[in-house]
Amino acid sequence: MQPSPVSTEPARAPGTGGSLGGYRWIAAGDVNAFFGLILDNVVNLAILAGILVGAFGFPTDVVFRRMFPGTALGVMIGDLAYTWLAFRLAKRTGRTDVTAMPLGLDSPSTIGMAFAVLGPAFVAAKARMPVNDAAILAWQVGMASMVLIGVFKVAMTFVGDRIRRLVPQAGLLGSIGGVGVALLGTLQLGEVFTEPIAGMVAFGIILYALVARIRLPLRAPEVLASVAIGAGIYYALGAAGLLVHPIVVPEANFPVAMPTLTLGFIHGLPIVLREYVPLALPFAILTVIGGIDVTESARVAGDAYETRDVLLIEAIATLVAGLFGGVSQTTPYIGHPAYKAMGGRAAYTLATGLVVGLGGVFGYVAFVAGALPRPVLAPILVFIGLEIAGQSYLAPPRRHATAVTLALLPSVAQLVAIFLSQIQNGALMMSALDPAAAARVSGIANEAFIHTCGVMVMLANGFILTALLWGSAAAFLIDRRVGPASVVLVVCGVLSFFGFIHSVLPSGGVYLPWHLTTTVLPYHWAIGYIGLAALVYVMSMTRAFRESDPVPQDAVA
């Protein structure tokens, strides 16, 4: 679920526009809505390229010619299908002001896939094969993740609403809120201040216009203004030789590539099933739950779309993207009421789908993505992180605030693990599996520090799923639902035993614990969780539990 950084001003007169069968499917408001939606998608592609190329050293040819076309194709299919849904709704209801559902790349999972799946898969493969071959394998892992997510979301289409009712929002939103705080917020602030002048100006505009919601002069689109002004300052300083780091001027290169149906995901599927399922599937669950919420938001705004149609189209778009080389899932955006208030109809999603889809083919999206400086793009990520984290606290009941905070913590461990992976070629990532080897290879003799690193690695592995489970267990306990809380803790114990969460392996993969020869940690974690579940359940049978006052509905626990 992507918070869409667009204006939320009251609707303005849409103008005469065009009509088809009485439906005014194109209006003046579609122009501003188009810029908001297209920028969301282009910025996500730019961020994906920036992380893969800038942070992990991916070959640009693999990113732009193999990943981008399929990823853009998924956006095109989804937006064109949502455009068709708008026409169908207008015909069914006879209304002339129907606004199409906005769709695009999901920001949290785009960043999460880059940092937690694609990047680590590339680094692991690079240690045993040439760089380009490693990048191809990582791309296949990304494709396999998308195919798996797409299939999972198709199935979730029919049960997603039930899951939303069963799983506390503190777990669902807190887990992604942690990504907002750690990976989209803290980590990206480092990018902002690599070039303080350009970065702070761009960040300041985001704070002024999107966080404080103050209108910009001339009604300028907020994200466009931030990126354009920040990039202008960046390149002006670069031309004058005043940047902190040497400027990298992008080549006027438009990598043309058709999205091609490929079975390459089959090569990556075993790796995904072995190592990355605990990271990938929670992102899928969140977009399904988000899609349900977004559809309800659109219904309140006046456009009563069928939830199943919205979810199924988005799931198919993700699946098709994976089959054609895409590595980032699509999602219906949360900004439908804002686009409706701007006067958007169906033309803005039609135009966005075509521009993004064709941009993936003819390379102009890749060129724009490469030309936008990372310190200028990073403020948008920080804003998205702030919005996601804020929603994590505002949407659930206030009494679950502590549960939300608990769900944030595994993402902080993931942030620590990212930095640990850069020390001595990742030697400290072995701290949980083989602390003696980690100490020997890293040259660090402090035993307590090595063991702490091991704990951070285990907390980071499967961090999204861990956060979801922790937040849910805490929310259940706060509500005095001890049975469900105990069940969640037992699930944590089983998953930790086999490495689905808290894996001792540097890769975060799953295993049979009795095959491990250098550590018994999986046994300790599993016994700890199951013992805690039993303890909580037994204590709930006591008189003290029965006499405890419930947490007030509007109180912070």
**pLDDT digit string, tens, across residues 254-279:** 888 889 898 889 999 999 988 888 77
**Do 265 and 217 form a contact (C-beta atoms < 8 A)?**
no
pLDDT 10s digits, 87-140: 999 999 888 889 999 999 987 788 888 888 999 899 889 988 999 999 999 999
Given this model, what pLDDT does residue 370 score?
Answer: 78
CA distance 508 to 501: 8
pLDDT level of residue 321 (50, 70, 90 thresholds): very high
- In this structure, how many other beta carbons lie within 10 angstroms of the beta carbon of residue 425? 12
The answer to whether residue 428 is domain-embedded is yes
Residue range 141-156, pLDDT digits in tens: 999 999 999 999 999 8
Pair 393, 557: CB distance under 8 Å: no
Whether 358 and 113 have beta carbons less than 8 Å apart is answered as no
Q: Are residues 260 and 367 in the same domain?
A: yes
Q: Does some domain include residue 343?
A: yes
DSSP summary character for residue 117: I
Q: Is 292 part of a structural domain of the chain?
A: yes
What is the mean predicted confidence (pLDDT) over 401-410?
94
Instruction: Please give, one letter per residue, the 3-state secondary structure of 240-274.
Output: CCCCCCCCCCCCCCCCCCCCCCCCCHHHHHHHHHH
- Residue 239 CA to residue 552 CA, distance in Å, equals 60
Both tokens assigned to 272: 């995904």
Give the residue-averaged pLDDT of 374-395. 82
Lowest-confidence segment of 288-292, 327-331, 441-445 by average pLDDT: 288-292
Residues 263 and 356 in one domain: yes
Q: Do the strands 330-332 and 23-26 form a parallel or antiparallel pair, or are they unpaired?
A: unpaired
β-strand partners of 104: 331
Has residue 237 been placed in a domain?
A: no
Question: How far is the CA of 151 from the CAs of 113, 148, 533, in angstroms?
Answer: 17, 5, 33
Of 301-310, 344-353, 471-480, the one with minimum mean pLDDT is 301-310
Task: Let me know whether 49 and 149 are in one domain.
Answer: yes
In percent, how much of the chain has pLDDT > 70?
94
Domain with 150, as residue range(s), is 22-170+251-371
Q: Quick count: other Cβ atoms within 10 Å of Cβ 369?
A: 24
Contact between residue 69 and residue 360 where contact means Cβ atoms under 8 Å apart: yes
Are 332 and 423 part of one and the same domain?
A: no
Q: Is residue 381 part of a domain?
A: no
Q: Could you give the C-alpha distances from 299 to 3, 78, 342, 470, in angstroms and in order?
A: 18, 19, 17, 32
Same domain as 356, residue 406: no
Same domain? For 321 and 438 the reply is no
Higher pLDDT, 486 or 55: 486
Instruction: For the chain, give the mean pLDDT.
Output: 87
| CA distances to 85, 285, 419 from 317, in Å | 14, 16, 34
Q: Is the pLDDT of residue 557 over 60?
A: no
Burial of 191 (0-12, 13-18, 19+ CB in 10 A): buried
- The answer, yes or no, to whether residue 526 has pLDDT greater than 50, is yes
Q: Do 300 and 164 reside in the same domain of the chain?
A: yes
Q: Does the pLDDT of residue 18 top 60, yes or no?
A: no
Task: Verify that 34 and 149 share a domain, yes or no.
Answer: yes
Distance CA(165)–CA(182), nearest Å, equals 27
352 and 417 inside one domain: no
Domain assignment present for residue 153? The answer is yes
Give how many domains the chain has, as a whole number.
2
Establish if 208 belongs to a structural domain. no
Q: CA–CA distance from 409 to each of 212, 467, 471, 492 (Å)?
A: 27, 7, 10, 16
Predicted confidence at residue 227, as pLDDT, reads 87
Does residue 519 belong to any structural domain of this protein?
Answer: yes
Q: Is pLDDT larger for residue 22 or for residue 409?
A: 409
Say yes or no: 425 and 518 in one domain. Answer: yes
Query: Based on the domain organization, do 430 and 300 belong to the same domain?
Result: no
514 and 467 part of one domain: yes
State the CB neighbour count (10 A cutoff) for residue 482.
18
Which residues, 6 or more positions from 549, have their beta carbon under 8 angstroms from its beta carbon?
A: none
Cβ contact 305:173 at 8 Å: no
* Confidence label for 358 from pLDDT (cuts 50, 70 and 90): very high
Q: Quick one: tokens of 233?
A: 């300052």
